Structure 1
């Protein structure tokens, strides 16, 4: 372990790895589910999400190795599925919010103890996850708007 790395920072890194690998597992599973439903465009977007979360996990592993600790994801969150795309997006938005909250807390802790290097690392991931969460919310709002328009059209017949 690199001198000066606070044990709690290492805990944040381990938890982040667990969350990122949970996201990989969830998006990969949901992409396959969407393919089974014949929704290939949505499935492809989820595959891209899988790749993005895998890159985050890789960065965490590399960072942990640079700090001299062996990466270990302690507990993966079970995959969350739903009966339609809107339900999947809602569950993914919840998972992204957990990541955003985690990285925000880790960044604040690093600032509190004066660990700028790890603080910047967490902050970059926080920024990326926040953007991803916003993209999921935009997609969800687009779908809900389309569904409301469809329901309103049907109601006028």
Structure 2
């Protein structure tokens, strides 16, 4: 099956995004280890693993379509200076993914590439779930900070 160039573009953007996220989460995990926050480091590592699974799914789809994957445009790492800033930056990263996958799913559905549309819809749902987790973590962190204010 040959893919439309725009579908390939969306797949490539998705792969670039997922690999950028892996790089960011692994950097944040390492920083948390350096700061003596092993639980947070483990959470960031798990997020990196989830993003690698996403990248693998995108690569698989690209290969089915006869396209060699190439994540050559990774975003710069934005690790943050503390846990709250890390989570806020990650939220921005995940919101960008949701927008990308939403647009990609709509285009693929209109173009008639149902398999790619289903992939993008599934990735979007995963990223939306991650956004929810980030929102809960940010709220919990905010609540904890509020309790320490006298």
Q: Is TM-score (shorter-chain normalized) higher than 0.5?
A: yes
Q: Does 1:104 align with 2:102?
A: yes
Unmatched 5+ stretches in structure 2: none
Find the residue that maps to 2:73 and give its secondary structure. Answer: coil
**Rg larger in structure:** 1
The answer to whether residue 66 in structure 2 is matched with residue 52 in structure 1 is no
Structure 1 residue 50 displacement after superposition: 0.6
Q: 1:40-119 counterparts in 2 under 5 A? A: 40-119=38-117
Preserved contact between residue 101 and residue 120 of structure 2 (Cα < 8 Å): yes
Residue 114 of structure 1: how far off its partner (Å): 2.4
Work out whether residues 61 and 116 of structure 2, in 8 Å CA contact, stay in contact via their aligned partners in 1: no
Q: How many residues are aligned here?
A: 150
Out of 27, 30, 38, the residue aligned to residue 28 of structure 2 is: 30
State how 1:117-128 maps to structure 2 within 5 Å. 117-128=115-126
Segments of 4+ in structure 1 off by > 2 A?
Answer: none
User: In structure 2, what is the equivalent of residue 14 of structure 1?
Assistant: 12
Cα deviation digits, residues 108-145 of structure 1 (max 9, x gap): 11122222111111101110111011101111111011
Deviation, 1:74, is: 2.9
SS in structure 1 of the partner of residue 142 of structure 2: helix
Asked if 2 retains the 8 angstrom alpha-carbon contact of 1:56 and 1:125, the reply is yes
In 2, Cα distance between equivalents of 1:11 and 1:51: 24
TM-score, length basis structure 2: 0.97
From 126, 142, 145, the counterpart of 1:144 = 142
CA RMSD of aligned residues (A): 0.9
How far does the alpha carbon of each residue in 1:17-41 deviate from its partner, in whole angstroms, 9 at most, with x for none?
0000000000000000000000111
SS of the residue 2:52 aligns to: helix
